Amino acid sequence: MDNRPIGVLDSGLGGLTVLKKVIAKLPGESTVFIGDQANMPYGDRSKEEIIELTRSSVKFLLSKNVKTIIFGCNTATAAAMPTIQNEVDLQIIGVIQSGALDAAKKTKTKKVAVIGTTATTLSHAYRDEIHSRDSDIQVQEFAQPALAPLAEEDPDEDTKLKIVSQSLRPLKNGDFDTLVLGCTHYPLLLNEIQACISPDKCILDPADQVAQYTYNVLKRDNMLAEGPAKHEYYTTGNARKFTEIARQWMNDPELIAKHVQD
């Protein structure tokens, strides 16, 4: 048994989509979430910048005595996780490995599309992870730099649908059966994405597999908590706006986010 919290980091709000699945799968676990909204989006930054920003969030989570850290950010997973894994002793869980595993299992035609930030797409992390499981799978990668900021801004529904529709136009009649949401902000736009993609396509949210893998790791290492669970939320950005959106997404009217310096 280990009642220390699970740490989750992201460049902004997107990691909440991972956190929500983790809490549902592991209701007895306490969590600490940090969203680096002051510096998002990460997707247009250099690898060196992403590593330094992610390192700062990891340092914050370590100060909260977490027992494991989930990189609830595809860009941080692709650019920073290999480096930071060598700098800390805790288990680090990334979203890309989980998403790639799920995609390799689910595709029937062996044709997969991935949408993500520019940095994630250019890293080819999803392609490489999927090919490590099945080299015959064809992987198409599409950078969608407008979507993460759109999810953070949370405009009216018509505006969201218009921007998502414009962004995903190249995928409308694409030759793939499985679409991986390669940015944790994208599930916040799931309704709009589904409206713009052929209904016969399978849309995968890697958060489902992340939650299952986290459970497996904690159970394997005898680190599951007994509860009661406590959840803390922090942002380097506007705590009031973060709280408003997070309350809706997490279905928790009592949720309060605190501001921390970036």
Domain chopping of the chain, boundaries: 6-94+208-259, 97-206
Phi/psi of residue 67, nearest 5 degrees: -100, -20
- Tokens 């220390």 correspond to 4
Q: Spell out the CATH class of 97-206.
A: alpha beta
Note whether 18 and 207 are within 8 A (CB): yes
- The four Cα atoms 69, 75, 77, 80 give a dihedral, to 10 degrees, of -90
Note whether 177 and 202 are within 8 A (CB): yes
73 is catalytic: yes
Q: Quick one: pLDDT at residue 255?
A: 96
- Summarised one tens digit per residue, pLDDT across range 158-205 is 999 999 999 999 898 889 999 999 998 899 899 999 999 988 899 999
Note whether 41 and 149 are within 8 A (CB): yes
Rounded mean pLDDT for each run of 10 residues along the chain, 262 residues in total: 96 93 96 96 92 97 98 93 95 93 95 94 95 96 93 89 93 91 91 91 93 95 92 97 92 95 79
The single residue of 183, 210, 211, 250 carrying the catalytic annotation is 183
The single residue of 69, 73, 148, 179 carrying the catalytic annotation is 73
Sign of CA dihedral 164, 167, 172, 176: negative
Judged on CB neighbours under 10 Å (0-12, 13-18, 19+), 222 is exposed
- Taking CA 72 as the corner, what is the angle to CA 70 and CA 76, rounded to the nearest 5 degrees? 100
Same fold, 6-94+208-259 and 97-206: yes
- Summarised one tens digit per residue, pLDDT across range 120-148 is 999 999 999 999 999 999 999 999 999 98
DSSP letter string over 70-87? EE--HHHHHHTHHHHTTT
Pick the CATH number of 6-94+208-259 from 3.40.50.1860, 3.40.50.300, 3.90.45.10, 2.60.40.10: 3.40.50.1860
183 is catalytic: yes
27 upstream amide cis, omega within 30 of 0 = no
